[in-house]
Structure 1
């Protein structure tokens, strides 16, 4: 099982709008509470990690049926935030006891901010990375439709914030590098958003092998079909249309927009390309 508790001060200070130095300050100010309510990771468990806008919703959509013999009931009847909750959100403490073992969870947290219980556990990790330029564009549009986040300003202004890590959960390269950690050994599986988009069936096969699970061909077909971006976009349990408009205004920009490599034609800024290339080269 997987049990997670996280300081409510994170939610009060709107975690999704913070970068890590500020989070560290919050925890320092509220260390006693955090110590009492920090995450407790108990094996067996499966966690999907992504930086924001890198495939979290996709992971929330595919993990439950992969863990439950291809059964789509939960993904068709339970909102994704209750079906596969985020480790860092206080909502997790409300819904975790209702989830069957093994529990699937997701998180945007970097490796170095995981609780000590995680490192002592045998929890398995699926890490999803995405082209940082696509992460940038998705993040920009989300800021435009989410009322609880600050105005992103112009796209050029947001690019500066993104490149300097002044966005929630910090710099893309830092997050990816933190999870490329040899200490995890065979506990972690690395996949990319682009691989899922190009050949979801092949990626699901890799995930099943990693999880030690098997599905019949018919069940796998069912999960592949349900897990397409087109179907997720129309699934009210996954597209955030159930969230009140005053919190997330899907009229301004739908949460699930295109699900493609959106920057191929939209962004031709040479400077940005050079900066991204320099950062990604450090990961090779």
Structure 2
């Protein structure tokens, strides 16, 4: 493990831990990342996975409501059950079924998850909107001490010199997991699909979890988990930030307000190269299918 100072185009730095080639926030203990290979899964654990800023908070809350069969769940931080943030001893305190979450790669996780058929809900989001959200994330957390501007941030982000590395490498790595383990219960969700029709996606998650509620309950969850309501309800947990860093805008296509034409074209080229052969198609507006 070593501390790295990644540098943007203007020379501003972003401090990150390098844990055997995997970059993470300096508040995360490298020992926790390394210990995930021995993490003792329970048979009924559910795991929500995503690259940062791709809808993990949103998906985690929906899964909780589906498992508990109510929209009146206890107000709780997702970080309480974040595998790459909390110690095993801390996570052991939570009753089953646990809704775990993380932003790591398969190689970091205990392979017994395949033996135990741990259900995985995977969320992906288009890399341009991720870039905008991640930029604000890096600007708002004092620990990063990042002072750069978005125009200089984009190349660093596209090079994977941010937490969890390249969004494209992360996505392809998990896509390979899905392809290589067709028998394993993994549900792939799209942030944009959730924005387009949340009722449909909530019901999809419910079916994946083996639940059979009436449509009106799925609609209640969809209504309770709209971005604006999530922002008002869950965002209150993070009052220490000047800007609601976990629930900022949640829009599809906000990248158009930030990317120059040249930056957008650069992202397209990197995406085409990195995602060659992928079956995943990112949606950059809700008009795209």
TM-score by length of 1: 0.79
Q: How does 1:260-275 map to 2 (within 5 A)?
A: 260-261=251-252, 262-267=254-259, 268=261, 269=263, 270-275=265-270
1:206 aligns to 2:204 (yes or no): yes
Q: Which residue of 2 aligns with 1:145?
A: 140
- 2:107 matched to which residue of 1? 112
Post-superposition shift, 1:73? 2.6
Q: What's the CA shift for 1:265?
A: 4.0
Matched, 1:161 2:159: no
Are 2:58 and 1:67 aligned?
A: no
Describe the superposition over 1:163-186 as per-residue Cα deviations: whole angstroms up to 9, x where unpaired.
Answer: 111111111111111111223324
Per the alignment, do residues 33 and 223 of structure 1 end up closer, same or farther by CA in structure 2, a change over 3 Å counting? closer
Distance 2:230 2:92 in 1: 23
Provide the secondary structure at the position in 1 that maps to 2:220: helix
Q: Aligned equivalents of 1:142 and 1:34: distance in 2? A: 25
Residue matched to 2:282: none
Which of 109, 113, 126 matches 1:131?
126
Unaligned ranges ≥5, structure 1: 1-8, 11-15
Q: Hey, what's the Cα distance between the residues in 2 that align with 1:152 and 1:114? A: 33
Is the CA contact 1:19–1:166 (under 8 Å) kept in the aligned structure 2?
Answer: no
1:167 to 1:18, Cα distance in 2 relative to 1, 3 A: farther
- In structure 1, what is the Cα distance between the partners aligned to 2:36 and 2:197? 43
Aligned to 2:42: 42
Match of 1:86 in 2: 82
Structure-1 separation of matches of 2:141 and 2:256: 25
CA distance in structure 2 between the aligned counterparts of 1:224 and 1:68, rounded to whole angstroms: 15
Q: Counterparts of 1:226 and 1:93 in 2: how far apart (Å)?
A: 32
Distance 1:37 1:190, change over 3 A: closer
Which residue does the alignment assign to 1:258? Answer: 249
Distance 2:36 2:61 in 1: 31
The CA deviation at 1:118 is 2.3
Contact 2:43–2:118 (8 Å) recurs in 1? yes
Number of positions where the alignment pairs a residue of Structure 1 with one of Structure 2: 256
Is this contact kept in 1: 2:50–2:124, CA < 8 A?
A: yes
* Larger strand share, 1 or 2: 2
Kept in 2, the 8 Å contact 1:58–1:227? The answer is: yes
Query: How do residues 211-250 of structure 1 correspond to structure 2 at under 5 angstroms?
Result: 211-235=209-233, 238-239=234-235, 241-243=236-238, 245=240, 249=241
Structure (1 or 2) with the greater helix fraction:
1
Query: Who is 2:10 aligned against?
Result: none
The 8 Å contact of residues 65 and 72 in structure 1, kept in 2 or not, is answered as: yes
Distance 1:146 1:119, change over 3 A: same
